[in-house]
Amino acid sequence: MSIPAALLKKLVQIPIFQGLTVPEAAEFFEVALEQTVEPGRALFREGDEGDALFVILSGTVAVTKRDVELATLSTHAVLGEMSLVSPGDARSATAVAKTEVTVLKVPSKRVQKLIKGEHLAALKVVVNLAQVMAQRLAAINERLVGADLRTRGGDSKRAELADFAGILNRWSF
């Protein structure tokens, strides 16, 4: 699929695609399919095989897990990104269109071929994905620790965490 240069310039601003040049982005997205999803229809469901990454071009998508809404995503948000590093694994959440949604669907198998061929754009995307996932993991850890400190003796837990942080800071490779 040929994507207009103006859209490619916007796409390379999305964290997972940052650092790609417009020509690299054009190569990466050449296999993307543009799809329109009606309100109430699922892009994918929890437990489905992870087969593609989606970039929302317009509209709003609700992400749920076990019927609990985790997030509402809109224009230029990315979802299904874990399928790029673990193609075929089960989806961990459901994504349903709240409004009419237009997405770019990037098949995981195609990206895996690019990665195996050491394609620069695909490798940049994987590095960016690792950074985004590390940030998400850190945020989740902070939430869990905050919840734990509120429900259990905060001072002793803070001391344990300080000890653990000291161990991590001394870790070397």
* Residues 35-48: tens digit of each pLDDT: 999 999 999 999 99
Residue in the block written with tokens 């490779």 = 173
Cα distance from N-terminal residue to C-terminal residue, the chain:
44
Angstrom distance (rounded) from CA 67 to CA 72: 13
Residue (of 74, 48, 52) closest to 63 by Cα position: 74
Average pLDDT over the chain, rounded to an integer: 85
Q: Where residue 169 falls among pLDDT bands split at 50, 70, 90?
A: very low
Are 97 and 46 spatial neighbours (Cβ–Cβ below 8 Å)?
no
Q: Where residue 132 falls among pLDDT bands split at 50, 70, 90?
A: confident
Backbone angles phi, psi at 124, to 5 degrees: -60, -40
pLDDT in tens, 49-106: 999 999 999 999 999 999 899 889 999 999 998 898 888 899 999 999 999 999 999 9
Angstrom distance (rounded) from CA 72 to CA 97: 10
